[in-house]
């Protein structure tokens, strides 16, 4: 499947966190300082979610063996849906006792006892086919997954979007510096300091976890990828001529 290149749409956060003009003195030349911020939004090209198989039984070994069988069915169904082995990763296997609940009229010496065992096997699924995420969720449920946990969208490589956000933030800082200098009746000089305060990526909101009924007849689960947001902030100090 050809990879979709993210279409970058820039939304500038044209706000100035700090703008200062320092007039010259015998020991300090006149300078000005500004901050520039920018935001770039782009379509994600990767998605991942977790599917878990949870079951209970009276015997620990039998419960774990049954869970392994259910988990293998889940893996087989996802592989049959063209999910590569490299895109499947087990993130947790757990076996724990199930304890009896304290009755209302329990005696003073009452103690809980083990009534059975619960086994859990959690699998992370990654895919570049964003349009097929909803179908994969439904396939996982039909194959025996009893829990789904948040669908997370991201960029496989956000270097291009980060560079664009940094460039826009720097352009904004330079424009504000020139405007501030002109408003003060002077001219901007050389750059004394240019610092990147941060460039971060924020994924769109995740689809929250949900308990699923493995008997449900689901054709697909509606999923909207949204956009990944990349923010950048720079600080600029410039001399005044």
Do residue 136 and residue 52 come from a single domain? yes
DSSP assignment of the chain = -PPPPP-EEEE-----S-EEEE---SSS--EEEEEEEEEEEE---EEEEEEEEEEEESSHHHHHHHHHHHHHHHHHHHHHTT--GGGEEEEEEEEEEEEPPPPTT--TT----EEEEEEEEEEEEEES-GGGHHHHHHHHHHTT--EEEEEEEE-S--HHHHHHHHHHHHHHHHHHHHHHHHHTTS-EEEEEEEEEEEEEEEPPPPBPPEE--TT---S--------EEEEEEEEEEEEE-
Statement to judge: residues 50 and 104 lie in one domain? yes
**Residue 200: per-residue pLDDT:** 83
Query: Same domain for 56 and 34?
Result: no
Query: Do 89 and 59 fall within a single domain?
Result: yes
Residues 111 and 180 in one domain: no
Q: Tell whether 232 and 113 lie within a shared domain.
A: no
Tens-digit pLDDT profile for the chain (241 aa)?
Answer: 444 444 444 444 433 344 555 545 555 678 899 999 999 999 999 999 999 999 999 999 999 999 999 999 999 999 999 999 899 999 999 999 999 988 888 888 889 999 999 999 999 999 999 989 989 999 999 999 999 888 889 898 889 999 999 999 999 999 999 999 999 888 888 999 999 988 888 777 655 544 444 444 455 677 778 889 999 999 999 998 7
Query: Taken in order 74, 78, 80, 83, is the CA torsion positive or negative?
Result: negative
166 and 91 in a common domain: no
Both 40 and 58 in one domain: the answer is: no
User: Would you state the pLDDT for residue 27?
Assistant: 54
Read off the CATH number of the domain in which 81 is found.
3.30.70.2970
- The pLDDT, as a whole number, for residue 12 is 41
Q: What is the pLDDT of residue 207?
A: 52
> Do 146 and 211 reside in the same domain of the chain?
no
Same domain? 168 vs 185: yes
Residues 22 and 50 in one domain: no
Same domain, 142 and 175: no
pTM attached to this predicted model: 0.70
pLDDT score of 28: 67
Q: Which residues pair with 54 in a beta bridge?
A: 120
């Amino acid at each position: 499947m050809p990879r979709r290149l993210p279409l970058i749409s820039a939304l500038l956060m044209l706000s100035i966190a700090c703008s200062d003009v320092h007039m010259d003195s015998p020991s300090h030349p006149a300078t000005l300082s500004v901050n520039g911020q920018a935001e770039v939004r782009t379509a994600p090209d990767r998605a991942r979610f977790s599917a878990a198989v949870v079951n209970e039984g009276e015997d620990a070994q039998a419960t774990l063996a049954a869970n392994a069988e259910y988990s293998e069915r889940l893996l087989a169904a996802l592989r049959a849906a063209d999910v590569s082995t490299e895109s499947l990763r087990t993130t947790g296997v757990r076996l724990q006792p199930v304890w009896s609940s304290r009755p209302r009229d329990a005696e003073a010496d009452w103690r809980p006892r083990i009534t059975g065992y619960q086994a859990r096997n959690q699998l992370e699924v990654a895919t570049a086919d964003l349009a097929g995420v909803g179908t994969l969720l439904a396939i996982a449920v039909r194959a025996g997954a009893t829990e789904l946990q948040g669908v997370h969208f991201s960029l496989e490589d956000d270097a291009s979007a980060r560079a664009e956000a940094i460039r826009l933030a720097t352009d904004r800082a330079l424009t504000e510096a020139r405007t501030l200098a002109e408003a003060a009746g002077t001219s901007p000089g050389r750059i004394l300091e240019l610092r990147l305060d941060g460039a971060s990526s924020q994924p769109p909101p995740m689809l929250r976890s949900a308990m699923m009924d493995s008997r449900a007849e689901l054709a697909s689960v509606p999923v909207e990828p949204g956009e990944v947001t990349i923010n950048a902030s720079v600080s600029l100090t410039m001399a005044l001529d």
